[in-house]
């Protein structure tokens, strides 16, 4: 069983996701924005991060992966798999859809909000196994 960090500005999403993950036997920590999220990456050293893309700004989630994957400070954490989630898949006028952008931003997987417990568990297991 794994330790999972959820970074999301929506408390209800955290509550729901946490319940599903705990039912599957995982332990969960959470953060409400990218800054707190990056701090918790260090203090919690999770096995997996579930990261909301749209928080205060449209692409706030991407700043987490940029820091995580690209700065020396996070060298020890750069290989933690990241599952990005978003309630929005398209933004008018943008060249790439959100799931494509998530790929570009080095996520390891993407889930549409809302997701079923089954979808979540299968993605989480897949990422933890790899």
**Rule CB under 8 A: which residues touch another protein?**
10, 12-13, 15-17, 19-20, 22-23, 87-88, 90, 92-93, 113-117
- The closest alpha carbon to 31, from 39, 23, 20, belongs to 39
Rounded least distance, CB 87 to another protein, Å:
4
Rounded least distance, CB 74 to another protein, Å:
29
Rounded least distance, CB 13 to another protein, Å:
6
As a whole number of angstroms, the distance between CA 23 and CA 118 comes to 12
The SS3 of residue 36 is helix
- Which one, 91 or 106, has the nearer CB to another protein? 91
Q: Tell me the CA end-to-end span of the chain in Å, nearest whole number.
A: 14
- Which one, 79 or 118, has the nearer CB to another protein? 118
Cis preceding-peptide flag for 99 (omega within 30 of 0): no
Rounded least distance, CB 81 to another protein, Å:
21
- Which one, 25 or 72, has the nearer CB to another protein? 25
- The closest alpha carbon to 26, from 49, 3, 50, 47, belongs to 3
- Which one, 68 or 84, has the nearer CB to another protein? 84
């Amino acid at each position: 069983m794994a330790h999972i960090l959820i970074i999301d500005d929506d408390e209800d999403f955290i509550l729901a996701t946490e319940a599903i993950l705990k039912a599957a036997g995982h332990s969960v920590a959470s953060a409400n924005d990218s800054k707190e999220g990056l701090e918790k990456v260090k203090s919690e050293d999770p096995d997996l991060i579930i990261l909301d893309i749209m928080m205060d700004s449209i692409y706030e989630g991407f700043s987490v992966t940029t820091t995580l994957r690209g700065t020396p400070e996070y060298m020890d954490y750069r290989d933690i798999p990241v599952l990005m989630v978003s309630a929005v898949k398209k933004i008018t006028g943008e060249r790439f859809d959100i799931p494509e952008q998530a790929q570009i931003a080095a996520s390891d997987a993407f889930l549409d909000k809302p997701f079923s417990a089954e979808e979540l568990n299968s993605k989480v297991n897949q990422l933890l196994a790899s």
